[in-house]
Structure 1
């Protein structure tokens, strides 16, 4: 009987597909079936079984309560802004004033004035720009420089004339009038001669201006007459000329010698002025200038002048107001 199976109705072992090891492993495992799985177990800590959220680099946005600035803070900010703007405007105004002063110091030529040559620390600044090699044509530079040297020579003569009259006044009080007039001539003639006949001839050679030439001729003619009067030396006129020198030399030889030197200087000035007047006149005729051209330059200069325009506008306004009031 050992050759027969114990259970004749049992299925053969090799033909049972559920005897496969992979199937038997699943069926015999302790894992609960899906239909019996309880996702909410009655026991156990649910928090312990939950997975904590990952801490990433980004944090959740937190809404802050909106707080508007108070009126006091707004007013303070506005005041600070106004103060800052005011400081900026003041700084710009100071810069504009500085540039305007620089432009005014440069004069109408747009260049910085260099005459008289004063040190930079001096409170008075130069009033004119002068450069013979740059502004005067080469054919006129020699004559223009000679006129400039004549002006300086005449200033030296006027200063020595003051010293001579002072020496005469110390020896005789009756020469007090001459001493006072000598001071007046130095203060009056030194700047006026520069402005009235040297600068006009400088401008005439610079810009070939007929009006400047005519103005120079008119004023320089009177300057020649003054040089002649100073060299003659009329008593009590404040000039140490020949007549005054020979009058005093008999009384005081030292004072008379000083006055003779001054008389020689005035005579040189008179002679040089006549020679230069003729030289300038000959150059003026070669330039093609004329009296009609001088009139045109004068009229154009007057009508384009801001001072004349302002005065004309004021006069027209006054006349119109007077006419309107008269009609009323």
Structure 2
């Protein structure tokens, strides 16, 4: 009941919060520590000096790049001289190449034998009394685009114009003749075709196509097409082998099987050669015609080339002059 004796309207107790023991203890210790610290005390100075970390004495590399050294005047002059020498050598090399090309063009444009170029075909021995009659060089005279076709035409002429087919045909006809004397006509005609076709095929269709590819001559192209068409027909007739025509073709060889099988086999081999030549001639004719269409040749150009060639031919000029002088003398005498 004593609790009810207090006066609730009485003033509060006079209590100082700063007099609390825990607060007074903290404040007293903080003040003491502050007062104990003396920055100018020798003991404190010695302690701080001992614990101080000295600054490094090694200088670090600066981040700025050092400027490169400029070349000396002597090095610049030497580099310029080397550059001039290199340019001079390059110009000399180009000049020598141009001179060589010019000499090649002059040698090609010059007539045979005018620049020391000797005929090299047919390749005869030097001790042979007959000298070569023509000059032939695919690499020098024929453009690169036409060399393959021109060489194939040359090989075709060799196959059927010189040795590969005519000589076996003569031997086959000789064997044909030995089995039956009636076929002596074939043996004689085989020798005649060999002696006749070898030079005429070279002059009439191989040399024209060689000249056509060499000088892009429209007249040579037309002459080749005209003659080679008949050559293709001859190849076909030879492969067929009509009896007593001087060709051991398929008809003659098949007819010979019953009489002599060995001779028939030889004749069949020759007939196969003739057939291959006929097929190759047709293929090469188409190839030459394709090349001809690219050159821009025409019949009008062929006529112009023929007229200019006839008018500039020395033999034709001499003949025309002699005819004109004879006619003039006859007219003068009549008057």
TM-score range, shorter chain: 0.5 to 0.7
- Return the match for 1:203 from 211, 222, 240: 211
SS at match of 1:225: helix
Q: Look up the match of 2:170.
A: 162
Q: CA deviation at 1:158?
A: 1.3
Change in CA separation of 1:289 and 1:127 when aligned onto 2, cut-off 3 Å: same
Q: CA deviation at 1:109?
A: 7.5
Query: What CA distance in whole angstroms lies between the structure 2 residues aligned with 1:191 and 1:116?
Result: 11
Change in CA separation of 1:320 and 1:289 when aligned onto 2, cut-off 3 Å: same
Residues 23-62 of structure 1 mapped to structure 2, 5 A cutoff:
none
- Return the match for 1:146 from 120, 138, 152: 152
Q: Look up the match of 1:124.
A: 130
Change in CA separation of 1:108 and 1:304 when aligned onto 2, cut-off 3 Å: farther
Q: Deviations over 1:238-275 (max 9, x none)?
A: 01110011111210111111110110000011100000
Query: What CA distance in whole angstroms lies between the structure 1 residues aligned with 2:213 and 2:157?
Result: 17
**Is 1:292 aligned to 2:276, yes or no?**
no
Q: Look up the match of 2:140.
A: 134
- Return the match for 1:326 from 309, 328, 334: 334
Query: What CA distance in whole angstroms lies between the structure 2 residues aligned with 1:310 and 1:123?
Result: 31
Structure-1-length-normalised TM-score:
0.66
Q: CA deviation at 1:323?
A: 1.5
Q: CA deviation at 1:108?
A: 6.8
**Is 1:305 aligned to 2:313, yes or no?**
yes
Q: Structure 2 regions of 5+ residues with no counterpart?
A: 1-110
Query: What CA distance in whole angstroms lies between the structure 1 residues aligned with 2:158 and 2:260?
Result: 29
Q: Structure 1 regions of 5+ residues with no counterpart?
A: 1-104
Q: CA deviation at 1:106?
A: 5.0
**Is 1:173 aligned to 2:181, yes or no?**
yes
Q: CA deviation at 1:326?
A: 2.3
- Return the match for 1:266 from 250, 261, 274: 274
Q: Look up the match of 1:247.
A: 255
- Count residues in correspondence: 223
Q: Deviations over 1:106-148 (max 9, x none)?
A: 5578510111111111111111111101100011000000000
Query: What CA distance in whole angstroms lies between the structure 2 residues aligned with 1:211 and 1:291?
Result: 8
User: Does structure 2 conserve the Cα–Cα contact (< 8 Å) formed by 1:224 and 1:273?
Assistant: yes
Change in CA separation of 1:108 and 1:287 when aligned onto 2, cut-off 3 Å: farther
User: Does structure 2 conserve the Cα–Cα contact (< 8 Å) formed by 1:165 and 1:178?
Assistant: yes
**Is 1:218 aligned to 2:218, yes or no?**
no
Q: CA RMSD in A?
A: 1.4
Q: Which runs of 4+ in 1 moved over 4 A?
A: 105-110
Q: Look up the match of 1:111.
A: 117
Q: Look up the match of 1:83.
A: none
Query: What CA distance in whole angstroms lies between the structure 2 residues aligned with 1:183 and 1:251?
Result: 23
Structure-2-length-normalised TM-score:
0.65
User: Does structure 2 conserve the Cα–Cα contact (< 8 Å) formed by 1:137 and 1:206?
Assistant: yes
